[in-house]
Every structure is written in structure tokens, then in C-alpha cells.
Amino acid sequence: MSKERTQQTVAIPLPKAKKNLVQIGCICIMLSVAMYGLVFSTLTAPILESVDAMGYVGLFSIFAALGISIMTPIGGKLGDLIGRRNIVVIPGIICIVCGVAFAFARSLVALMSLRLLISLAQGAFTAAPYIIMGLINERKDVPKAMGMLAASVAVGGFGGSIIAGILTDMNMLTVAIIMPAAPLLIGIILIGINMPNQKREGKVTIDVPGIIALVVTLCAILLSLNFGSSIGWGHPTIIAGFVLGIVAFYALIKIESKAKEPLIPLTLFKNKNYIVLLAVGFAAYFYQNAMNVYAPIGAMQIMGKSASVAGALQMPRTILTIIIPIIAGTWVGKKTSNMWKAMVGATALTGIPMLVMGFTTPATSIVIYFVALAFTGIAESFRSVSITPAAQLILDPQDIGIGTSFVNFFNSLSGTIAATVFAVAYNMNTAADPTNVELIQNGVNAVFWVAAIVGLVGLAIVILFVRPQMSDKKESTDHTEKTA
């Protein structure tokens, strides 16, 4: 009975040895993704300085975010069509080749082009480890598997930025840029050798019009959001960008409703429970820009602390995000009802700390920042092991790939929108005199208040909508098991 149930709950059954190797491959992939992100963040200045192009820092970052945002949903669907192994191996190899070429590029055009290609390739396979973990594990083991991926992201980001900084200080910038390719190569080999490439039977139809409409929609809206705060929201170019994005989005809906093999199955958005989970994920991820950008400003400009202290603010949080996810994942996997409880932690432990930080003054102790951000590390651990497994639990098997990709996509979209909203909140309060400490205090506190409100709205959604949904799922599961 146990063996029969295992076969029924694992989409791709693998021998234990191969399953473990594939899981290690997924961990290596996410290590690389995190390392690339933090390495490029750490090395943006030295890289652009080497070609005398420091004025392009913003555009460099936008290219990175844009590529991942565009390809995450596309990669999820392509994986359904050409096979999950192929969507890891092919874009992974492209990422490695472009990453190595990037280390030796010596012109701005080459650097920008390669950075965009790297982010496009990453977007294609970033969701794959989360999908694969859901396909090769039993339902009860999926949250723990997601916890391992979350821990690998924390390790890769933390370790990658430190190692990259050390190598750069040793005049080994080229080695620092190439470094993230190593775990990616290991991951590609392990997954390529040990995982079968299951894909749709028969002729594969790729929704080219849908891809074009999606790319235009995302480029128009995301670029307008990024440049709006700097050149003005009323600028004709920004207005035209938003109009183009809205028109392209309308066209996308029309195209997808008639497509034989739609890039984005619109039936996904008829699933109210799935939409609610996307909203919770959006809310649980929203605070991160406030933490990354405005917490250091609060520490240095309001409290008067040094840059080294500001740089260490996330140290306790990082340690927690390395340790807690696997423990939290094991706990979540024991009962379906634990998923909504984890989501309570994911939203409450972002909203409340942000609320506390929203009362920053020159007299505020820096310890409050350290403790508040440490709590967000617990929240991040809960988020990583609950929302994606919950989404996979309610999706039809044929929609797991694109559905999981959209969870990741909404996370990145949340970060982009948050950056814009926070910039508006901060600038509204500091426009009169950007150097005035009292105005800076008002601006930073406004950012934290907005982050707190979004987090607490997410908490309300969990309590009002997700909790009943998860309870119903638990009752249904219990009834099915008793019947079996």
C-alpha cells in the first residue's frame, strides 16, 4: 500500500541514488543563480569602471531584472513542451558560455549584451529546480525540498558576494565573474545524466505571438516603472510606455484565449485559490527592497552608524535563512494545515518588523534593526517552504510547470513594483532637501510603513482566505486516505 501510494504521489519516480543526485543538481543550480545575482551586485562598479562606464549602473541592473522577468514564465511553459531536463541543460550551457565571455569582454556594448543574455538564460531555468523538486518528491517531502533550495540560495548569495569581493581585492576580477559557472556546470551534469526528459507527446506548438505580446508587455511596463521615478511620471515617454504595455497586455489576453497551446493558460487565473497564493507571495516578498536599500540609509543617515555596521545588518538574517528553511520544510510537510500557518509567519514576520522599523529616529538603537531583520529571515524561511508547495498542490499536473514559474515571476514583479513605490514614498518626503536628516527620517519611515502595510495585508489574506482553503484541503485529503 505504501509503495503504491508513493508511486501515485510522485510524478517522476526515480531510484533513490538518482533522486539524490538530481536534488543535489537542483541545489547547485540555485547556488549558481544566487551567486550570479550577488556577484554582479558586488562587482557592478568594478566591471563598469573597467570600461569607463559608471554612468550605466542603472541600465546594467535593469537589464538583469528584465531578462529574468521576461523568461521566467516563458521558461516554465517551454519546460512543459520540450522537457524539464532540456530547459535546464540548454539555457544552463548558454548561461555558462555567456558568463565566461562576460569575464573577458572589454566593451560596454558587449558587457550589456552578455548581461542581458545571462539574465534571459537564468530566467528560463530559474523556476526549474522548484518544479523538479515537486515532480520527483512525494507531496509530504516537497516543503523540505523547497527548504533545501532556500538554504542554497542563502548560502550562494552570502558566500558568493564575500568570495567575489575577496577575489576582486586580489586583482582577480575575471575569476570572480567566472566563479558562479562552477556550481551551474555541476548542476547541469547531475540533472542531465540522472533525470529523464519527460515532455509532451506528439507535435510541439510554441506560442510565438504570445511570447511577443508578453515580451512587449513586460518591457514596456517594467522599463516605465524603472525610469519613471528618474525622468518623471508625466514624461511623454513614460506615459507612452504604460499605454503600450496595457495595449500589449490586452493583446496577450486575446491571443492566449485563442491559442492552441497557450504560453499562459488563462485557466490558471480562474483558479481563485491559486490567485490568492500569488497575492500572498507578492505581499511576503514586497519588503525586501526596503530591507536592502533603505535599512542601510536609516542606519547611516539617521542613526549615524558606519558603513561597516550598515553592511552587517543582514548577517543574523542570513544565518537564519541558511539554517531554518529545512527545519521549517520538514514541519510543513507533516500536515497540510501547517502550510497556512507558515504563511502566517511569512507575512506577519515581515509586516511587524517593518512596522517597528517605521519609527526610526536618531535615538533608535541599531539593535532594533538587527533583531527586526533577523525576524524577516524567519519569515523568508516560512515563505520559501509554503507558497510554492501549496500552489503545486492545487494545480493540475499539466499546469505545474507554468504555475510554479508564475509564483517565481510574481516574486520578481513584487520586487520591481516595490522599488518604484518605495522610491516615490521616499522622494515625496525628501524632495525639499535630500540632505536634511529629519526629511530623510520621514522618507525612510514612510518606506517601512508601506512595506508593513503590504505585509499585514498579506497576513489578512492568509487568515481570511488561505486558512479555510488549506483546512478544506486537509479534510479532503484525510477523507481520500480513509477511503483508500
The set of residues, in sequence order, having a beta carbon less than 8 Å from that of 104 and lying 6+ positions away, is 174
The residue among 367 and 228 whose pLDDT is bigger is 367
Q: Per residue, what are the HEC states of 227-261?
A: HHHHHCCCCHHHHHHHHHHHHHHHHHHHHHHHCCC
Instruction: Tell me the three cell numbers of residue 472.
Output: 478544506
DSSP secondary structure letter of residue 268: G
Contact between residue 249 and residue 257 where contact means Cβ atoms under 8 Å apart: no
- H-type alpha helices, 11-56: 16-49
Nearest Cα to Cα of residue 187 among 145, 252, 129:
129
Contact between residue 149 and residue 133 where contact means Cβ atoms under 8 Å apart: yes
The set of residues, in sequence order, having a beta carbon less than 8 Å from that of 185 and lying 6+ positions away, is 92, 96
pLDDT, tens digit (0-9, with 9 covering 90-100), for 410-431: 888 888 788 888 888 898 898 8
End-to-end CA distance of the chain: 9
Distance CA 351, CA 456 (A): 5
Query: Rounded to an integer, what is the distance from CA 344 to the centroid of its chain?
Result: 19
Distance CA 432, CA 99 (A): 43
Residue 1 — very low, low, confident or very high, per pLDDT cuts 50/70/90?
very low
The set of residues, in sequence order, having a beta carbon less than 8 Å from that of 173 and lying 6+ positions away, is 43, 46, 47, 50, 103, 167
Distance CA 26, CA 145 (A): 10
Distance CA 481, CA 473 (A): 12
Distance CA 332, CA 324 (A): 12
pLDDT at 476: 47
Amino acid identity, position 268 = L
**pTM score:** 0.83
Distance CA 134, CA 156 (A): 22
Give me the chain's average pLDDT, please: 86
Distance CA 8, CA 130 (A): 20
Question: What value does the mean pLDDT take over residues 161-173?
Answer: 81
- Checking if the pLDDT of 315 tops 70, the result is yes
pLDDT, tens digit (0-9, with 9 covering 90-100), for 255-286: 988 888 788 888 888 889 999 999 999 999 99
> What percentage of residues in the chain have a pLDDT greater than 90?
49
Q: Which long-range contacts (CB under 8 A, 24 or more apart) does 104-112 make?
A: 104/174, 106/50, 106/51, 107/51, 108/48, 108/51, 108/53, 108/56, 111/47, 111/48, 111/51, 111/53, 111/60, 112/56, 112/59, 112/60, 112/63
Amino acid identity, position 129 = P
Query: What does residue 433 show for φ and ψ, rounded to 5 degrees?
Result: -160, 95
Does the domain at residues 265-479 carry the CATH identifier 1.20.58.110? no
Residue 483 — very low, low, confident or very high, per pLDDT cuts 50/70/90?
very low
Consecutive H or E run containing 142: helix 142-169
The residue among 384 and 206 whose pLDDT is bigger is 384
- Checking if the pLDDT of 293 tops 90, the result is no
- Checking if the pLDDT of 471 tops 80, the result is no
Contact between residue 119 and residue 68 where contact means Cβ atoms under 8 Å apart: yes
pLDDT, tens digit (0-9, with 9 covering 90-100), for 344-383: 999 999 999 999 999 999 999 999 999 999 999 999 999 9
Tell which CATH architecture fits domain 16-195. Answer: Up-down Bundle (1.20)
Q: How many residues are listed for the chain in this entry?
A: 484
Distance CA 5, CA 10 (A): 9
